[in-house]
Amino acid sequence: MKNVFPSPHPLVAHKLGILRSADTDPQSFRELVREIAALMTYEATADLMTKSITVNTPLAPAPGVELQENIGLVPILRAGLGMVEGVWELVPNAQVWHIGLYRDERTLKPVEYYNKLPVEPTVSVTLILDPMLATGGSAVATIDILKRWGVKKIKFVGILGAPEGIQQMQEKHPEVPIHLAVIDDHLNENGFIVPGLGDAGDRQFGTG
Ligand code: PRP
């Protein structure tokens, strides 16, 4: 699948196994979401633009590089919130712009309830953060919002993706790369990813 990047990394796969387990408590679940988000960020930012600089070591000048891009994180509330801290560990200066969407349980369509983006874009690249790409409705709606805002470079960084959601993304926004820890098997009749991990929002916030 073009523009879809399941993680090849054994650390991600190992942590994902613990994350999935029904025995993992909310505290451990939150830690794992943060750690996996950091590892996923390492993979998703491999093509960021840099510029050459010179740094002075205690001995001599050395060639170095500096990030040229202004990075924005867009966690989709609620479940995406838990990924922010992990990404910040690697990109501490990233701006965070929250988008609130929930999925209507009956229609499975996203409903927007929070968006305080300023009029003009303030970043050159955005990473959309959401552990779950199920039908893809929330991710597609968020990309619609970011494109209207004017951001040119958008990436989706998630943990689990269903084939249905990936297909929806590729139909609506084929140029947006999708970084996932893993692609799962299918969606069930309630729109839950199977085998999945349950509800990522409820499991992080202890509301299940
Ligand atoms: C979940 C999940 C995604 C969305 C994925 O959020 O965190 O945002 O559903 O589904 P989709 O791909 O079919 O749109 P949920 O609506 O449960 O809200 P929450 O994060 O507040 O629990």
Q: Provide the CATH number for the domain around residue 151.
A: 3.40.50.2020
Question: Looking at the 3D structure of the chain, how many domains does it have?
Answer: 1
Residues with CB under 6 A from ligand 1: 76-79, 102-103, 108, 110, 130, 132-139, 165, 191, 199-201
The confidence score (pLDDT) of residue 173 equals 98
The boundaries of the domain holding residue 196 are 4-205
Nearest-CA residue for atom 21 of ligand 1: 78
Ligand 1 atom nearest to 135, measured from its CA: 13
The confidence score (pLDDT) of residue 195 equals 98
- On the question of pLDDT at 2 being above 90, the answer is no
The confidence score (pLDDT) of residue 81 equals 98
- Encode pLDDT of 105-119 as tens digits: 899 999 999 999 999
- Tell me the three-class secondary structure of the chain, residue by residue: CCCEEECCCHHHHHHHHHHHCCCCCHHHHHHHHHHHHHHHHHHHCCCCCEEEEEEECCCCEEEEEEECCCEEEEEEECCCHHHHHHHHHHCCCCEECCEEEEECCCCCCEEEEEECCCCCCCCCEEEEECCEECCCHHHHHHHHHHHHHCCCEEEEECCEECHHHHHHHHHHCCCCCEEECEECCEECCCCCEECCCCCHHHHHHCCC
Ligand 1 center to 42 CA (angstroms): 24
State the pTM of this model. 0.96
